[in-house]
């Protein structure tokens, strides 16, 4: 589930970060905006934090799953 959500949110979050901090660069009187080098550091930092959070959640869910008892037919009634 985390992989599906990450695949849906990741590209949007990356685009927002890359377009938020841009610098104008002029080549032969043509000026365009490109992402700042600092933006890539921010992007990698956000990715690192998200990876750590996902690993923590996966470990936490595994521990909770091993502590739970299986569902029986009596529990459903």
CB 21 within 8 A of CB 42: yes
Summarize pLDDT for 40-70 with one digit per residue, the tens. 999 999 989 988 998 898 888 887 777 777 7
CB 22 within 8 A of CB 36: yes
Burial label, 69 (beta-carbon count in 10 A; 0-12, 13-18, 19+)? exposed
In angstroms, rounded to a whole number, what is the distance separating the alpha carbons of residues 37 and 21?
Answer: 9
* Number of domains, the chain: 1
* Tokens encoding 57: 């959640």
What's the pTM value of the predicted model, to 2 decimals? 0.65
Print the domain residue range for 56: 2-76
Q: What's the mean pLDDT when you consider all of the chain?
A: 85
């Amino acid at each position: 589930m985390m992989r599906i959500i990450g695949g849906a949110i990741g590209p949007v979050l990356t685009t927002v970060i890359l377009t938020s901090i841009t610098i104008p660069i002029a080549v032969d009187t043509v000026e365009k905006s490109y992402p700042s080098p600092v933006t890539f550091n921010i992007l990698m930092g956000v990715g690192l934090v998200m990876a750590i959070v996902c690993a923590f959640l996966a470990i936490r869910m595994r521990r909770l799953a091993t502590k739970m008892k299986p569902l029986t037919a009596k529990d459903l009634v």
